[in-house]
Structure 1
Amino acid sequence: MAKKPDTSSRIADNKKAAYNYFFEERYEAGLVLHGWEVKALREGKVQLTDGYVIIKDGELFLIGCQINPLKTASTHVSPDAARIKKLLMHKDEIRRLIGKVEQKGYTLVPLNLHWKDGRAKCEIALAKGKAEHDKRDTIKEREGKREVERVMKSRHR
């Protein structure tokens, strides 16, 4: 299982994923990118919110991840912001994921993009969808934490 990446090397986070899913396991996968995509990632021109991962022919693909090209992109390349990106993982990890995703209710969602040793990596999670009442509980919990922080902040003044 992948360890938590350093927050200073984070490129983008999928904040919606924590609201919509319970995470069972986390994995780290490499990305197959074009040159203009790497440059755009360095500038932070990426959106993971609507992204999801599919398994096709024993390979992982990231769909719905928008990497917006820079205005200074090469003229001989026609960039496609919504291009499907291939994810790189070991074969045995992919086989394990296939078995778990075939179980009812499980899916793969991207959590974040980050740099590791100069390479772009995607942290993905094996996740189970939350029911509506679970989402309400998440909101209540978040608002409770905010209220406690607000009270603590006013006490320190």
Structure 2
Amino acid sequence: MVTVALPDTWVYALRLPHDPRAARVARMTVRAALNSHGMAEVLDTVELLTSELVTNAYRHAKGPASLRLTALGEGRLRVGVWDAHPYIPAPFAEPPDGRLPLSPVGDIGGRGLFLVQEFADSWGGWSLGDGLLDRGAGKLLWFEVGGGGRCGEKRWAVE
């Protein structure tokens, strides 16, 4: 009998329309992909952080977005979200103090990128141009989790 093992590295890509339901579609895609590849240990974190980035793409960009899941091997996963808006927000733009402050208690938003900063092992962003001359420009924001990093640790201490 032959046993087939799933590959350690793989890539899924999904184009998301500019639609308020895009974050839900992204969460469902993440759940299906990670469950099928035996990565349940990072599922909740990846689903939450992906939802935050896709929601921001919907709220701040006018066009579609793209989601890319890349298994890097050894349990590591990189999630990238592209949108057409060129602005790279902190913490992806590396603020001077290197940390985002927690939003005030009464604010109804502003916590998504703080969550990425707290629960991803690493993150970053690339500007792809302002879109005036470059078709398909914008930015790519990404984060990585897994592989024995701190993914999922609760680190809510105020510094």
TM-score (norm 1): 0.24
Q: Determine which structure has the larger strand proportion and give its number.
A: 1
Q: Determine which structure has the larger helix proportion and give its number.
A: 1
TM-score (norm 2): 0.23
Higher gyration radius (CA)? 1
- Greater RCO, CA 8 A, separation 6+: 1
